[in-house]
Amino acid sequence: MSRSLRRGTRLSLLAAALAAGSAAAQDLTAYRALAASLDAAAEAGGTWQGAERTLTELDRAGAALEQLAPTLQNQQVVGSLRGALNGARAALARTPAEVQAQVLLGRGLLRKALYEQTLGGLAGAPANASAGLRLLAREFGLTAAATGALTRDAAAGRPERVAWRLQRAAAQKVASALQAARPQRSADSYLQLARASGWFTVVQEAGAAHDLRAAGFTAALAQLAADDRAALARSLTALRGGSAALGRSLAAPPALPRPAATQTDSPTTLARPAGQPPTGPAPTEMAPTDPAPTERPGAAARPAGSGSLDLTYAALGRALTASGHGDPETARRELTRGLAALASVPAGLRAAPGYEQWREDLAAAQERRGLRPGDVQALIAGLGGVERAAAGESGAAVDRASAASARTFSGGVRAAVFLLLALLAPLPLYLLHLAFGGRNPSWRAITAALALLLLPVFLEGLFGFLGWLGDVSGVALLRAAPTLTLWQGAYGLPLRALLTALAIGLATYGFWGLCAQFGLLGRRQRTATPPLQPVLDWEEEP
């Protein structure tokens, strides 16, 4: 049986299951409370100091689960959620990473319950399921355009298209987490595998998982805990391959139902194996809602997978905008989407020199605290260099230098270095005042010029460090502090030019006055030179 037939059968079974009856009303208020408590527990569970807060949030999550449980149809998921909460409490005595992993598993089960019950409600009462659908879109991280398409499919009575959109979003999350995992024993790799396993719960029973199995994630976690790096590397390769196959199977939307006039076709015509010619007239199919873009005459054919590359560029562009607005959290989320889109890029690009290094840079950037626009710009330029390398062209040396700088001089290192420079900036101004005083207007002008030249460095050191500190601590107000620096965006360029012009003017005025004071400028007076020159006072007025 061909893949298209298997997929069509699965979608038919899904539509039949959804049409079997309506779902009971789910307590979305309790769902939101449970999700918020789990997210807070995951955030607090990253440190030993947050153990008390983590336990409090887990208790709140347990209370919300008891309120939500009677409204959930799948009681097996309820039991698994209780087990995840108990596992998180038990993990408090071990490592923070285990606490976060248990919470991530609980979030995955919670999304699965919302996914199943909301889709079940679409068949019986679509209007009542609209609130759950909006919550699903937010939980799955859909954009505004994707959320609108999801709502339109639900209103048109196409649950199989709704399921496809959500499954595709979950598959991208799985691919992104697996790409970020490394074959080494570390807390980050452990959490990435747990995150991938949590998102996999949404698609594991949807019939589109192909070679991905829950046992594969369990085995990889066990190998990571045992520090069996060779086996873990093989498991990660297999999981990534299954994730890529899953993404390809969900790349195209399912076909829409046939018009009523074609229902007289025989079952043999409707369910024939791929490649076998039809025995009767070809059935007329409805045009899909999202038609493929028409090609312009004479346009060059694009290689397979180039759409994924466009998605990566789009995600990098949105990340650049978010980082420029002082929103590194959104920037990292967009970088995660860009990393997930790499699962289907052309094979020629994967084999290009520098691709693996660039992919590692992208994976590192999505975990970086204190992400700045320059980091994302280096990634965009690096991807362009990889494209040129795939086409046989040489890359720009400045792009390689930018990538190396973003790799080594970013995040906490950049914040610490500029903070040190900001603390040292007043030192030469103090020494200048101490040496020459402040009564001479020429020296005052020179001091002001030096202060204007050092002002951008001072602002970068102060607000850049506050932004990094806010990103690490999760304080939104501090995260936006880098927007007050003069190196965050294009608006800083004219301001730096203005400060430099003022500094040049003040320095010129100051040194002109000193030169005039020493008789180096202007008309010199012909006076008898005394045998001994008097001692010059630096603070003497000209």
3-state secondary structure of 222: helix
Summarize pLDDT for 439-451 with one digit per residue, the tens: 889 999 999 999 9
Residue among 293, 342, 360, 35 at smallest CA distance from 176: 342
126 Cβ neighbours under 8 A, 6+ residues apart: 154, 155, 157
Mean pLDDT calculated for residue range 479-502: 92
DSSP of 168-194: HHHHHHHHHHHHH--SS--HHHHHHHH
Q: What is the pLDDT of residue 523?
A: 53
C-alpha separations of 66 from 69, 81, 170, 463 in Å: 5, 11, 26, 45
Return the number of other C-beta atoms located less than 10 Å from residue 226's C-beta. 11
pLDDT in tens, 160-216: 888 888 888 888 888 888 988 888 888 888 888 888 888 888 887 655 556 678 888
Task: Determine contact, residues 109/75, Cβ cutoff 8 Å.
Answer: no
Average pLDDT over residues 77-96: 75
pLDDT reported for residue 439: 84
Q: Which has more confidence, 151 or 457?
A: 457
Average pLDDT over residues 329-335: 90
| Residue 522, both tokens | 């202007």
Of 118, 230, 125, 101, which is closest to residue 166 (Cα–Cα)? 118
Which residues are within 8 A (CB) of 83 and not within 5 positions of it... i.e. 6 or more apart? none
pLDDT-derived band of residue 129, with 50, 70 and 90 as boundaries? low
Q: What is the model's pLDDT at position 462? A: 96
Nearest to 51, CA basis, from 104, 103, 81, 89: 89
**How does DSSP assign 241-264, residue by residue?**
HHHHHHHHHTSSPPPPPPPGGGTT
The Cα-based distances of 145 to 131, 133, 149, 317 in angstroms read 17, 14, 6, 16
For residue 420 the two structure tokens come to 């040190």
DSSP one-letter code for 71: G
**CB atoms closer than 10 angstroms to residue 54:** 27
Residue 111: the pLDDT is 87
DSSP letter assigned to residue 343: G
Give the pLDDT band (50/70/90) at residue 258: low
Task: Share the mean pLDDT of the chain.
Answer: 78
382 in Cβ contact with 361 (< 8 Å): yes
Q: Which residues contact 317 (CB under 8 A, 6 or more apart)?
A: 380
Ordered by start, the domain boundaries in the chain are 26-250, 306-409, 413-518
Task: Report the distance separating Cα 48 and Cα 40, nearest Å.
Answer: 15
**How far is Cα 91 from Cα 524, in angstroms, rounded to an integer?**
86
pLDDT at 83: 82
Give the whole-angstrom CA distance, residue 31 versus residue 13: 28
pLDDT of residue 374: 93
Selected residue with higher pLDDT from 535 and 499: 499
Phi, psi of 293 (to 5 degrees): -65, 140
Taking phi over 0 as left and psi of -120 to 50 as alpha, with beta for the rest, 143 belongs to: beta
> Torsions phi, psi of 282, nearest 5?
-65, 135
Instruction: List pLDDT tens digits, range 366-407.
Output: 889 999 999 999 999 999 999 998 888 887 889 899 999 999
Look up the pTM and report it: 0.48
State the Cα–Cα distance between residues 172 and 203, nearest whole angstrom.
Answer: 11
Does an H or E element contain 83, and which? helix 75-91
Q: Which residue has the higher pLDDT, 150 or 446?
A: 446
CA distance 247 to 236: 16
Nearest to 344, CA basis, from 310, 316, 376: 310
SS3 208: coil
Of residues 360, 356, 339, 348, the one with CA closest to residue 387: 348
| Dihedral angle, C-alpha 458, 464, 467, 471, nearest 10 ° | -150
Whether residue 338 contacts residue 312, with contact meaning beta carbons closer than 8 Å, is answered with: yes
Q: Are 305 and 244 in contact (CB under 8 A)?
A: no
How many CB atoms are located within 10 Å of the residue 189 CB? 20
SS (H, E, C) 473-507: HCCHHHHCHHHHCCCCCCCHHHHHHHHHHHHHHHH
Read off the pLDDT of each residue in 275-290 and give the average, rounded to a whole number: 39
Backbone angles phi, psi at 15, to 5 degrees: -65, -40
Side-chain-facing half-sphere of 145: CA atoms under 13 Å: 1
Q: Residue 107: which of 64, 149, 47 has the closest Cα?
A: 64
| Structure token pair of residue 238 | 């297999």
CA distance 350 to 389: 11
Q: Are 482 and 488 in contact (CB under 8 A)?
A: yes
Tell me the pLDDT band of 115, cut-offs 50, 70 and 90.
confident
